[in-house]
Each structure stands twice: as C-alpha cells, then as structure tokens.
Amino acid sequence: MDEPILEIEDLRVTFTGGAKPVRAVDGVDLSLRRGEVVALLGESGSGKSVTLRSVLRLHQENKTKIEGRITAAGIDVMALQGAALADFRGKHVSMIFQEPMLVLDPVYSVGQQIIEAICKHENIAADEARKRVLHLFERVRIPSPERRLAAYPHEMSGGMRQRAMIALALSCHPKILLADEPTTALDATVQVQILLLLRELQRELGLSMIFVTHDISVGVEVADRIAVMYAGRIVEIGSVRDVIRAPRHPYTIGLLSTRAHGGRLTGNRLPAIAGSPPDLANLPPGCAFAPRCGLASSQCAASTPPALSVKEGQIVRCFRVDATAKVSA
Amino acid sequence: MEPAKASPLLQITGLKKHFPVKTGLFGRPSSSVYAVDDIAFDVHAGETLGIVGESGCGKSTTARLLMGLIPPTAGTVRFDGKIVGSPALPLKEFHRQVQMVFQDSYASLNPRLTVEESIAFGPTVHGVSRREAIARARSLLDRVGLDPIRFAGRFPHELSGGQRQRVNIARALALEPRILLLDEAVSALDKSVEAQVLNLLLDLKDAFGLTYLFISHDLEVVRFMATRVLVMYLGKVAELGPTEALYTKSRHPYTSALLGSLLSMDPDQRTERAPLAGDPPNPIDPPPGCRFHTRCAFAEAVCSLHEPVLHAAGASHAAACHMVPPNGEHSKSGMAMKAVS
Ligand SMILES: Nc1ncnc2c1ncn2[C@@H]1O[C@H](COP(=O)(O)OP(=O)(O)OP(=O)(O)O)[C@@H](O)[C@H]1O
Ligand SMILES: Nc1ncnc2c1ncn2[C@@H]1O[C@H](COP(=O)(O)OP(=O)(O)OP(=O)(O)O)[C@@H](O)[C@H]1O
Ligand code: SF4
Ligand code: SF4
Ligand SMILES: [Mg+2]
Ligand SMILES: [Mg+2]
C-alpha cells in the first residue's frame, strides 16, 4: 500500500484557557489513504471538530496544548510557521463547515472572495482566476453561474451557499478536504443533493476526505471507513460494512440500536443508552464509556482499554470484545 | 386506529399568517411572507399528530398560531368546540390545556431560576400555592427521570442538554395540560439521549392521557412517534394521513420526494439520484397554482393554473394534488398512487 496522504498520530488537544483544563482529544490515531473517505462519527462534544481543526492548526495556540504528530501530503503540520502555514491552508488541505456564513464574508460577493483566495495562493491574473471560479460554480452546479458570481452570500439559499463554500474550498486544488458536518443544517432534500455532489467531486478529483458527522446514515452514504469517537478517543474504526453490520464496541452497538430507523413499530420503546455523555473536564479513569456500559467490569474503570484488532481493518478500544462478538453476531 | 366519532379536541379552520416584510420604498410593507396560508385540520384526543416539511414551510408558525402566541391573519382554532380567544375560552384558560416544548432547551429556561422554581412558576401564576407547586415540581422531576434530591436545586447551566429538555417537559406538564405541542423538541439532542427522551414522551402520554402535536424535520422520528402525519409545503397542507399509509403509500409527489431523501443505512444501496432538485422557493412570492409545481416531476399545465384542494385519497387520508381525484384535468388524474414508487 502506498503512503497515507494524512497521518494523525497520538493527537492530544487540551484547552487551557478555562478554570480547568479540558482534554478534548485524547490520543487519536488516524490515517487517511489517497482517495479515501473516512467518516468521523460521534456525539456532540466527542472531539470531532477539534480533531479536524488540528489538521489545519486552527486552534488559538496560546490557549491550547497540542501534542502528537500530523503529516499531511508529506508535510509536517506541527512544524509549519507563518507564511508556510497560510500557504498550506487551502492549497494542500481545505475545510468546509456546517455554517458557510462563518467562512463567507457578508460584505463581498462570493465570486470576489474566491478569486481573492486563488490569487493569494497562486501567481495568476485576476482574469484567469475569474474563469476558474466560473468553472467551479458550474462544477458545483450553481444555477446561472455567471450571474451568481456577483451575488452576496445572503442573496443565496442555504443549499446554494453550501455549494459556494465547496467551490471556495476546492479553488486551489487541495488534495485533502476536511468536511465538518456540511449537511447537518440542511433539509433532507437538500442534504442528499450536497452529499451526492461531494461524493462525485471526491471521486472525480481523487480527493481524500475526512467527513465529520453525528448522523450514521450520512457516514454510510459517503464513506469508505467509519471511525467512531467517544470522549476524545476513536473507540472503533473499520470499513463501513463492518462497523454497520458487525459493530464491536458497546457504544457503537448502542448507537446503532437507538435509531428510530427503518419502520420500527410506531410507539414501541426504543433501546436507549442510559446516562449522558461525559464531562471532559471530569473524565472517569479507564474507559470513558464505563458509567454507561452494560458490559463494564472492574477492569474497565481501572485502566484505559488498548486498541485491539478484532478483524482485518477493524480496530476497537474495549476490554470485552469477546463479549461483543456474540452480541453483534 | 380509526378515530372515534367524538368531536375533535382541536379544530383548525382557514388558518393564515402573513408576515408583512418591509422591502418597498420608504420601508412600507410592500409584500408578505405567506408563512401559513389557509390550512385546516383536526387533532383528536389521544393521538400524536406529526407535522413535517422543509425548513420555512410554516411548522413553527402553525404551532405559534395554535398556542395563540401570535395573532392569525385569518382563521380560527377551536378547543373542545370553543373558539380560542373568545369569551367562552380566554387565552389564559386555554394555556392551561395546551403547553409547548421548543428545540432550544437552554433559551427556554430562565437562567436565574433553579430547576424546581422554573417548573413551579407556571402553576403559581395560575393560583396554585407555592408549597403545592414545589411539591408538584418535585414529583414531576422524578417522573421525567431526574432525581429531585440531586436536581431540584440546580440551575440550567448545570444540566446536560437532555436533562434540560426533561426539565422543559416537566415544566410544560406542571399545569396538567391535555395537549403538548412539541416543536423540534428532540432535534438538538444526541441520538443516544434522543431515544431516552422519546421513550419518556411515550410513557408520559400513556400516564397522563395526553395528546401530542409533534413537529420535526426528522422523518424517522416522526414515523416512530406519530399516529397521523401532516405534510406541509410552503404554508400549505400537502398531505395528511395515518402514519403507515402515508409512509408506505404516499399520494403527494412532495411527500414521496421527502421520503425518498431518507438515507438507506445500507452501504450497498446508496442514493444515486436526489429525488428533488433545488431549494424550496421563497414564501414571499409563492408559485401560483400548486406551490410544488416548480419542483414536481409530474407538473402539467393545470398545475400552475389551479391550486389543488385536499382530495380524499384513502381512509382518513387526503392529498392536495391534481393527480388524486379521478376525472381531473391532469393526464394522470386518479393515478397518483401509481405515480409514486
Ligand atoms: N476553544 C475551546 N476551549 C475550550 N473547550 C473547547 C474549545 N473548543 C472545543 N472545546 C470543547 O472540546 C470538546 C470537543 O469539542 P468538539 O467541538 O470537537 O466537539 P464535536 O465532536 O465537534 O461536537 P459537535 O457535534 O457538537 O460539533 C467539547 O467539550 C468542547 O466544549
Ligand atoms: N416574525 C416573522 N416575520 C417574518 N417572517 C417570518 C416570521 N416568522 C417566520 N417567518 C417566515 O415564515 C416562514 C415560515 O417559518 P416557520 O418558522 O414557521 O418555518 P418552519 O417550518 O418552522 O421551519 P424550520 O424547519 O426552519 O423551523 C419562513 O419563511 C420564515 O422566514
Ligand atoms: S472497555 Fe469496558 S466499559 Fe469500556 S466499552 Fe468496553 S466493556 Fe464497556
Ligand atoms: S398538483 Fe401538479 S405540480 Fe402539484 S403535486 Fe400534483 S402533479 Fe405535482
Ligand atoms: Mg463539531
Ligand atoms: Mg420551526
């Protein structure tokens, strides 16, 4: 197998700005192959966005302690400084967000902003850049692209703004696209359109992608592999088929069964995971899922479960994978 | 599941809400958002009526109209046969019977009140003694799965999202209402917590004999909760019917497209084509005729000329589409069933 395009090794991110330090990411290992899509799945606060933002070094560095190694497109991300870091963002790795209005400046037209982004990274004439933006708008299927170049963000519908943000993200031909819940705020009918667009662009441009979502069905729709996060750790990773059909971490198993999915009988109780997600400033020792886990034993609260390979390509952080083999079989 | 012949608990007729928007010269209201535009439906005692539709179609406006939080442009709401807001049923009296739970669990609680004070507040306003209201608050906390000893004295910021939403539900129940209006009440919750709250809502409904209006953009959750479903499109009722009939034999192309947008959860059956193109049109300037005709795969000339009314499409099932009635002007008249996969 050739080199992964993105390699995250033992990433730890601690926010030190508050009264108590918050360990939001606690030893994440993730490698992304060329042309691969990995869905990073997890509940609110599990550390998905913090992991993603680390790859672009978007955290406020004076209030954040980042440890570990990140290598993207052969570049040591942790070592980047100043102009090199600015150049890295957008050119090698790009990111799209849930809320495009956080990225798009309301006082400039969308076309202008993308042209500027291109000219910042490349030494080309504004005229050339404009042509490229027009082509991008066609590519992301913005209707009447010529006219929309001059549109301001607020003049676009939610779905169209999302398309414009994707055009902006792809404007400097990055190899890696990081997507942070880009369809979460959209209606189901528009979400499908954007997912299909992203899947098509990913394939045709050979992009490698990490797609953050809290919705398993979105992950299934776009990804080759699914990584499940809980309390700052990846607790299970494997091919989409394995994770969906034979999950081995008790949390993944619970998540899949809590879904009101597939015409479950109206009014029958749903199997629910008891308790609530943990407070990262007061994490229990050992496995963070232990207080909610039906399989927890004394060992689970005492030490952190190691990453175990349960099958070719499927890795689980749990002491009781012997027991979950029966559950999911 | 056929509702009894008894008269409906809530009866909504000709309900409209047009919000004026200032876009004209000198800031004069020159046009309106047709947020809710002539809708009618009944709610029967003991049912859960789900309301679905894309963002901006008028779900929350409908809820706020039902609650009397905003005045309607036209139309009436009857509760137990009495017109809400009339001398026979003043708003304050009505509010004891109908309570609402919103999506944003944080914004709906007063940050300076403890959990038990928040829950006791409504009853004391309605004349219940403080002692009794606090006692009721504690028993409700217990009922929604929050140990009063641990939680009664906490402030909203000391709770998780799921816990806050339980408090909101307890608060809504404190006045012993007969109807609970849930507007995206579980949408902000994590899936694992959402399941807990949905189960709680089912238990409470049985225990207190409640009637629910359950608004959500999540079609899976609505299928799980609702006995009947109302589908809205741009301020209109597109389809209304028993949940399973609507989900398995929808008669309106919009309903079918909406259901077709559900993701399969099967890596071997990924979606290949989006069932609908584009975004919903702007409700300031809704398309003439059938409001869905700009996105409908079956649209014909008649669709942009005449607005379809709700036609009977099965037992307690109706859809506003020209294809539903036999002998209509649409070439697929009477064939809506076959048109839909
Ligand atoms: N700048 C910050 N300072 C302090 N804590 C932070 C900061 N950014 C994030 N956190 C905390 O880190 C944890 C992980 O946050 P993160 O945004 O990665 O969650 P997430 O998995 O993306 O959740 P969501 O689904 O809600 O977006 C959370 O508890 C969050 O409150
Ligand atoms: N106070 C208001 N003034 C002007 N327009 C309004 C007002 N409240 C709502 N609207 C508009 O009315 C329409 C219906 O809004 P409503 O909030 O009822 O939609 P919804 O179906 O609840 O959508 P969502 O799923 O996003 O909650 C929208 O176009 C909205 O922008
Ligand atoms: S390590 Fe123990 S507590 Fe953690 S998920 Fe596995 S069985 Fe449950
Ligand atoms: S009336 Fe015409 S446009 Fe409207 S849903 Fe039916 S076929 Fe489509
Ligand atoms: Mg996030
Ligand atoms: Mg709403």
What is d(CA B52, CA B255) in angstroms, rounded to the nearest whole number?
9
- Assign B338 a pLDDT band (cuts: 50, 70, 90): very low
- Assign B341 a pLDDT band (cuts: 50, 70, 90): very low
- State the closest ligand 2 atom to the C-alpha of B53, by its place in the atom list counted from 1: 21
| A168, pLDDT greater than 70 | yes
Could you tell me if residue B261 is inside a domain? Answer: yes
Site to probe by mutation for ligand 2, drawn from B31, B32, B55 as the one with most ligand atoms within 8 Å of Cβ, is: B55
pLDDT at res. B25: 62
What is d(CA A189, CA A61) in angstroms, rounded to the nearest whole number?
39
Comparing A328 with A280, the larger pLDDT belongs to: A280
Angle between helices A250-258 and B191-208 (to 10 degrees): 50
Residue type, position A291, single letter: P
pLDDT at res. B54: 92
Average pLDDT, rounded, for chain B: 90
| B133, pLDDT greater than 80 | yes
Sheet containing strand A75-76, edge to edge, reads A22-32, A6-15, A64-72, A75-76
pLDDT (tens digit, 9 = 90+) per residue, B39-76?
Answer: 999 999 999 999 999 988 999 999 999 999 999 999 99
- Across B157-175, b (16+ Cβ under 10 Å) vs e yields eebbbbbbbbbbbbbbbbb
Mean of pLDDT values over A131-144: 93
- Sequence-distant (≥ 6) Cβ neighbours of residue B268 within 8 angstroms: A241
CA of B76 to the centre of ligand 5 (A): 43
- State the closest ligand 1 atom to the C-alpha of A50, by its place in the atom list counted from 1: 18
Residue A109: φ, ψ to 5° = -70, 155
What is d(CA A55, CA A93) in angstroms, rounded to the nearest whole number?
8
CA of B253 to the centre of ligand 4 (A): 7
Domain total in chain B = 1
pLDDT (tens digit, 9 = 90+) per residue, B239-250?
Answer: 999 999 999 999
Could you tell me if residue B164 is inside a domain? Answer: no
pLDDT (tens digit, 9 = 90+) per residue, B145-191?
Answer: 889 998 999 999 888 888 898 999 999 999 999 999 999 998 888 88
Q: Which ligand is nearest to the CA of B231?
A: 2
Percent of chain A exceeding pLDDT 90 equals: 77
pLDDT (tens digit, 9 = 90+) per residue, B1-47?
Answer: 444 457 899 999 999 999 988 766 666 667 889 999 999 999 999 99
Helix (H, G, I), strand (E, B) or coil at B294: coil
Could you tell me if residue B300 is inside a domain? Answer: yes
Q: How far is A128 from chain B (nearest CA, A)?
A: 29
pLDDT at res. A54: 97
Helices (H) and strands (E) in chain B, counts: 12, 12
CA of A47 to the centre of ligand 1 (A): 6
pLDDT at res. B3: 47
| Structural domain span for residue B329 | 250-341
Instruction: Provide the β-strand partners of residue B311.
Output: B319
pTM for this prediction: 0.91
Residues of B in contact with A191 (CB under 8 A): 261
Comparing B283 with A96, the larger pLDDT belongs to: A96
pLDDT at res. A161: 92
Could you tell me if residue B159 is inside a domain? Answer: no
